[in-house]
């Protein structure tokens, strides 16, 4: 089943006509020429599409909230600030089929009545930014964006905004702050962005992969889409397989698939690299949980589940890996990327990194075990935003699962 | 609406936060980023976390709005665990040199550490002072950026004490609209600082040091200079104390806000070894006479109007830096400190036959900005530096504590009479609206030539940030305005630019409620504390035998013997200056 990857390598990302030949921008035309705003929102809501950025919030509900909020100006933002370690799905979409993101963005902006839209790109993604700029230029020439889209009275001005590449700026309110020229820190919620977002106006922030699903839903109908994958979270998902797996890279699979199948099925991972023995898998980037062997049959879905799918990366870890090295690498990442706003995260990630350094050098102190527990507890219970919680997830699992290996 | 806190029912209003209700009902919730002078917090210190029946997570009481059926628990095991761990983490981010710290005993972090039994360092403190280049290596593993900034004459910053609560950032941005501070770097290297770490360049109002919970921002300490002068037998140390100091000094020794401690203050200074203690209120009276004269002149001769008061050095600096087009509007009168000081080194020195070179002129001020003012280039009208040392209230109290002098136990003393007789009008300078009221008392009598029946001008009193009034004096309708806090002043200047306001006389004070809310005043402060201080000032004015500046007998004598008349050549030379003469930011 292919929704996102369908036209990969069939079209030239630098040439809009190759996308149009594959029935591109049909969904946009359909919507602009005959659908009311409410119809679009209703269709997306009916499809059951959930955000692919990590949190899995129902996309239609977000749109509906923003569409219903009255304001003189609204904004639609594509969150392209992909910065989870080991995840590069959005980047690949942009490099293979940028117009699919753009089309989804324009439909979304139309649906909530936004005249301005932004694509916020991680500052490290220079190539993606270049490709998207070209795509945007071509779309403007063909009147898919800009003033009077497709001869109608609808104006949607799309701009590309390049961030500075901080991890926290992928969090939607921090992202809004960066566009406003402020420090990249999460805002207090509520109010949520669909009510008061960019410059205090109703704003929808959707992940690039989420938006890539929109043209399909419009063309084929919500019903068709909702029958793909799992019933709670329909559709397909891009999974990034990394680590000790034979076939590394991006695979599109229906949601509800198990990790077992992703790793071992020959059309996906094709099993472990020869000579390696499976130890555990980390689901969803550096902030993801560690999945032991006996849980591999768990379905990957958005919704209430033991192992959140998050952004969809699966890191396969084999037994040759030193868990202390991993602890250190997680701690370094979160220590570096914490925004420094709240106490537990600013200080806690630093101390965790300090302890990780000691563990790595095998000179941990007696009090370290207790201190780790305290810090992980305060990170997950008292942080300002989910980042602090993320920083504690993998560590928490590792301490639970491998206490002996870690503290000898 | 009613909500339950710790199983007891409390009345609450819609839209209130849990913290607001707890504060009202004396339920203890520790906070480090909330301050009564700041806009609502964003919940960044995580000290005020509480448990509720509505959420599995801990919620910050400072931002969580209440709703029907809410039950709050402020002292559960989970809550205390959260506070303790986060405090431990903060404590280790902090210098922890309490015994030698300027805020020892007044530090909010220290108090919380005491409350939650934080006494051990679980980790290596990560902020270390860099004494020499060689120590760079030591810091490599435990790196954190330390900023020491004492390049200006008013405010000292030492980031090893900073706990990144951001109160200073907010007060500077929201109350004073200067935005001198912001956050630099990120993660554990996050540092509150100036853009590109340039030395602090602001209006030196010192509100950041007032709200700082630790000693990360304090006044630039001049105690050493003062002690040196005291120890020098050749020097004659002459101190003047500002109007507001006698109302706030007592707080440093545990008295309730607003307690009047003039006699104790003088006595304490005498015990320290000061030779003479004079009263800045006399300088204030002098300011009023000169300023009223100037105002009448400007009104009668169609001079630049409105005229702005010029007692507040932060306000002058603000106009010079941000609205130079309004410099002509500033009164040319110097502030009370800078009027009294040259008189000490000229009039008093001549009279007592003292070589002014041997006089060390010290002033005890409510203000950090006065330190900057004393160092302005033009403040040498006496031929010497008019004011040599400026101490804030906090500094003086610190020195007294250090020397184990308890003013409470001292017998009250009077100011030295040569320059120590004051009036109620001058006393009013302590609070916002006071300069205006004092000036009106004098100006009205000067214009009408008749004695005022009622000396109070209640229309210019009050706590609101911007007040205005119209006063009929014979056929003149004098329109006046009183503002405090720079954001109000800025609004006023902007409306003047658009031609929307037409006042004759405007009083501006940079600090909340004027000098009694100054940057050198005791902590903790807030609207309630300042209200009590104002009450003290007003009641003192009421009880004064002389309540109009021009009736000050000492001043009458000084004019007769020395200055001549208001606005005379001598007065111009000693008591007036042209704002904007000095290079901006200089001094």
pLDDT band at B137 (very low <50, low <70, confident <90, very high): low
Question: Would residue B370 show up in a list of annotated catalytic residues for this protein?
Answer: yes
Q: Which residue from B26, B75, B24 is spatially nearest to B48, judged by alpha carbons?
A: B75
In angstroms, how far is the first alpha carbon of chain B from the final one?
Answer: 56
Of A151-155, B70-74, B139-143, B152-156, where does mean pLDDT reach its minimum? B139-143
What's the pLDDT at B585? 35
Contacts of A388 in chain B (CB under 8 A): none
pLDDT band at B430 (very low <50, low <70, confident <90, very high): very high
What's the pLDDT at A76? 98
pLDDT higher than 90, residue B307: yes
Q: Which residues pair with B426 in a beta bridge?
A: none
What's the pLDDT at B579? 63
pLDDT band at B587 (very low <50, low <70, confident <90, very high): very low
For B60-185, where are the alpha helices, taking DSSP H only? 77-91, 108-115, 136-140, 167-170
Q: Measured between alpha carbons, how far is B238 from B415 in angstroms, rounded to an integer? A: 11
State whether B89 and A344 contact (CB < 8 Å): yes
Q: Judged by CB atoms within 8 Å, which residues 283-342 of A form the interface with B?
A: 335-342
Percent of chain B surpassing pLDDT 70:
95
What's the pLDDT at B21? 96
DSSP B498: T
For A51-200, where are the alpha helices, taking DSSP H only? 59-68, 89-96, 98-112, 126-141, 172-179
Residue A166 touches chain B, beta carbons under 8 Å: yes
What's the pLDDT at B74? 96
pLDDT tens digits along B358-412: 999 999 999 999 999 999 999 999 999 999 999 999 999 999 999 999 999 999 9
Question: Domains in chain A and their CATH numbers?
Answer: 16-226 (3.40.50.11540), 236-318 (3.10.20.600), 323-407 (1.20.1440.230)
Alpha carbon distances (Å) from A217 to A31, A99, A234: 11, 15, 11
Would strands A203-207 and A157-162 be described as parallel, antiparallel, or unpaired? unpaired
What's the pLDDT at B135? 54
Residue where the block lists tokens 């200073």: B168
State whether B44 and A347 contact (CB < 8 Å): no
Q: Which of B164, B373, B395, B445 is catalytic?
A: B373
Low-confidence ranges of chain A (pLDDT < 70): none
What's the pLDDT at B169? 96
pLDDT band at B150 (very low <50, low <70, confident <90, very high): confident
Q: Which residue from A116, A121, A119, A118 is spatially nearest to A146, judged by alpha carbons?
A: A116
What's the pLDDT at B123? 75
Structure tokens at B431: 């609070």
State whether A340 and B164 contact (CB < 8 Å): yes
pLDDT higher than 80, residue B435: yes
Interface mutation target, options A342, A355, A365, A386, chain B, most CBs of B under 10 Å: A342
Q: Give the orientation angle of helix B262-272 with respect to helix B393-402, to 10 degrees.
A: 50
Q: Which residue from B225, B224, B230 is spatially nearest to B273, judged by alpha carbons?
A: B230
User: Which residues does B contribute to its contact with A (CB < 8 Å)?
Assistant: 42-47, 49, 57-58, 63, 78, 81-82, 85-86, 88-90, 92-93, 122-124, 126, 163-164, 182-183, 185-190
- For residues A90 and A49, the answer to whether their CB atoms sit within 8 Å is no
pLDDT higher than 60, residue B143: no
What's the pLDDT at B41? 86
pLDDT tens digits along B63-78: 999 998 999 999 999 9
Its ipTM equals 0.93
For A235-322, where are the alpha helices, taking DSSP H only? 259-264
Q: Measured between alpha carbons, how far is A342 from B32 in angstroms, rounded to an integer? A: 11
What's the pLDDT at A322? 95
E-strand stretches of B495-581: 505-509
Question: Domains in chain B and their CATH numbers?
Answer: 2-91 (3.10.20.740), 224-575 (3.40.50.1780)
pLDDT tens digits along A194-230: 999 999 999 999 999 999 999 999 999 999 999 999 9
Mean of pLDDT over chain B = 92
pLDDT higher than 70, residue B343: yes
Omega before B222 within 30 of 0, i.e. cis: no
Query: In what helix (H) or strand (E) does residue A158 lie, and over which residues does it extend?
Result: strand A157-162
pLDDT tens digits along B224-268: 999 999 999 999 999 999 999 999 999 999 999 999 999 999 999
Q: Give the minimum alpha-carbon distance from A307 to chain B in angstroms, rounded to a whole number.
A: 20
Q: Measured between alpha carbons, how far is B119 from A370 in angstroms, rounded to an integer? A: 17
Q: Judged by CB atoms within 8 Å, which residues 229-248 of A form the interface with B?
A: none
Higher per-residue confidence, B143 vs B6: B6
């Amino acid at each position: 089943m292919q929704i996102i990857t369908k036209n990969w390598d069939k079209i030239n990302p630098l040439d809009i006509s190759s996308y149009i030949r594959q029935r591109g921008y049909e969904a946009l035309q359909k919507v602009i020429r005959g659908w009311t705003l409410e119809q679009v929102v209703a269709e997306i809501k009916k499809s059951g599409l959930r955000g692919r950025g990590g949190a899995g919030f129902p996309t239609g509900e977000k749109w509906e909230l923003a569409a219903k909020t009255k304001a003189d100006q609204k904004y639609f933002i594509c969150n392209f600030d992909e910065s989870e370690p080991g995840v590069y799905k959005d980047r690949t979409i942009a490099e293979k089929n940028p117009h699919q993101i753009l089309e989804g963005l324009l439909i979304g902006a139309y649906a909530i009545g936004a005249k301005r839209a932004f694509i916020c790109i991680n500052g490290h993604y220079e190539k993606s930014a270049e490709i998207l700029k070209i795509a945007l230029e071509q779309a403007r020439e063909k009147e898919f964006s800009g003033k009077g889209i497709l001869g109608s009275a609808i104006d949607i001005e799309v701009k590309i905004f390049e961030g500075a590449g901080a991890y926290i700026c992928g969090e939607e309110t921090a992202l809004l702050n960066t566009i406003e020229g402020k420090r990249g820190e999460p805002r207090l919620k509520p109010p949520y962005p669909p009510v008061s977002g960019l410059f205090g106006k109703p704003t929808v922030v959707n992940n690039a992969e989420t938006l890539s699903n929109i043209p399909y839903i419009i063309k084929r109908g919500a019903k068709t889409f909702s029958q793909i994958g799992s019933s709670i979270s329909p559709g397909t998902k891009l999974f990034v397989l990394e680590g000790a797996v034979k076939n590394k890279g991006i695979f599109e699979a229906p949601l509800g698939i198990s990790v077992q199948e992703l790793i071992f099925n020959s059309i996906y991972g094709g099993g472990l690299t020869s000579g390696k023995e499976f130890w555990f898998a980390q689901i969803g980037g550096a902030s993801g949980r560690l999945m032991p062997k006996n849980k591999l049959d768990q379905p990957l879905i958005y919704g209430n589940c033991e192992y959140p799918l998050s952004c969809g990366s699966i890191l396969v870890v084999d037994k040759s890996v030193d868990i202390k090295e991993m602890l250190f690498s997680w701690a370094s990442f979160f220590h570096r990327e914490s925004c420094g706003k709240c106490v537990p995260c600013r200080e806690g990630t630093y101390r965790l990194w300090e302890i990780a350094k000691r563990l790595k050098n095998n000179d941990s102190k007696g009090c370290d075990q207790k201190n780790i527990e305290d810090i992980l507890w305060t990170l997950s219970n008292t942080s300002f935003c989910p980042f602090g919680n993320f920083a504690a997830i993998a560590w928490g699992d590792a301490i639970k699962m491998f206490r002996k290996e870690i503290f000898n | 609406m009613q909500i339950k806190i710790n199983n007891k029912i409390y009345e609450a209003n819609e839209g209130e936060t849990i913290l607001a209700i707890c504060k009202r009902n004396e339920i203890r919730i520790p906070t480090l980023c909330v301050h009564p002078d700041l806009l609502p917090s964003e919940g960044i210190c995580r000290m005020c976390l509480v448990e509720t029946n509505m959420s599995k997570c801990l919620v910050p009481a400072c931002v969580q709005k209440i709703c029907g059926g809410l039950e709050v628990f402020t002292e559960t095991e989970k809550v205390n665990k959260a506070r303790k761990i986060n405090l431990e983490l903060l404590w280790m981010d902090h210098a922890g040199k309490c015994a030698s710290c300027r805020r020892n005993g007044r530090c909010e972090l220290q108090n919380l550490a005491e409350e939650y039994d934080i006494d051990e360092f679980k980790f290596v403190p990560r902020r270390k002072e860099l004494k020499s280049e060689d120590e760079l290596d030591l810091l490599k593993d435990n790196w954190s950026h330390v900023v020491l900034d004492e390049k200006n004459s008013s405010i000292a910053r030492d980031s090893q004490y900073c706990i990144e609560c951001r109160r200073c950032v907010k007060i500077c941005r929201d109350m004073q609209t200067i935005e001198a501070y912001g956050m630099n770097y990120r993660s554990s290297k996050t540092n509150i600082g100036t853009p590109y770490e340039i030395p602090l360049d602001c209006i030196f109002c010192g509100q950041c040091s007032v709200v700082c919970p630790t000693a990360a921002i304090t006044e630039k300490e001049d105690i050493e200079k003062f002690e040196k002068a005291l120890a020098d037998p050749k020097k004659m140390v002459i101190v003047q104390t500002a109007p507001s100091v006698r109302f706030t000094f007592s707080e440093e020794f545990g008295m309730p806000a607003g307690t009047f401690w003039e006699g104790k203050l003088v006595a304490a200074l005498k015990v320290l070894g000061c030779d003479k203690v004079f009263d800045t209120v006399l300088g204030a009276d002098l300011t009023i006479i000169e300023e009223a004269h100037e105002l009448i002149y400007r009104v009668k001769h169609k001079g630049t109007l409105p005229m702005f008061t010029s007692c507040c050095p932060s306000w002058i600096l603000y106009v010079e830096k941000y609205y130079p087009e309004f410099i002509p509007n500033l009164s040319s009168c110097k502030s009370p400190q800078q009027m009294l000081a040259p008189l000490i080194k000229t009039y008093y020195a001549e009279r007592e036959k003292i070589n002014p070179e041997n006089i060390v002129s010290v002033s005890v001020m409510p203000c950090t900005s006065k330190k900057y003012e004393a160092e302005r280039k033009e403040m040498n009208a006496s031929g010497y530096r008019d004011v040599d040392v400026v101490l804030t209230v906090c500094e003086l109290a610190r020195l007294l504590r250090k020397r184990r002098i308890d003013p409470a136990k001292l017998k009250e003393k009077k100011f030295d009479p040569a320059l120590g007789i004051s009036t109620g009008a001058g006393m009013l300078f302590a609070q916002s609206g006071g300069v205006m009221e004092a000036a009106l008392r004098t100006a009205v009598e000067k214009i009408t030539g008749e004695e005022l029946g009622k000396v109070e001008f209640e229309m210019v009193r009050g706590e609101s940030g911007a007040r205005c009034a119209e006063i009929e004096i014979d056929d003149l309708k004098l329109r006046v305005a009183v503002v405090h806090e720079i954001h109000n002043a800025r609004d006023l200047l902007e409306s003047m630019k658009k031609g929307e306001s037409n006042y004759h006389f405007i009083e501006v004070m940079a600090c909340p409620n004027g000098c009694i809310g100054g940057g050198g005043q005791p902590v903790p402060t807030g609207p309630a504390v300042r209200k009590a201080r104002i009450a003290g000032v007003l009641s003192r004015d009421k009880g004064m035998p002389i309540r109009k500046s021009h009736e000050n007998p000492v001043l009458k004598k000084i004019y007769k013997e020395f200055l001549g008349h208001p606005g005379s050549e001598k007065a111009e030379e000693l008591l007036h200056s042209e704002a904007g003469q000095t290079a901006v930011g200089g001094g």
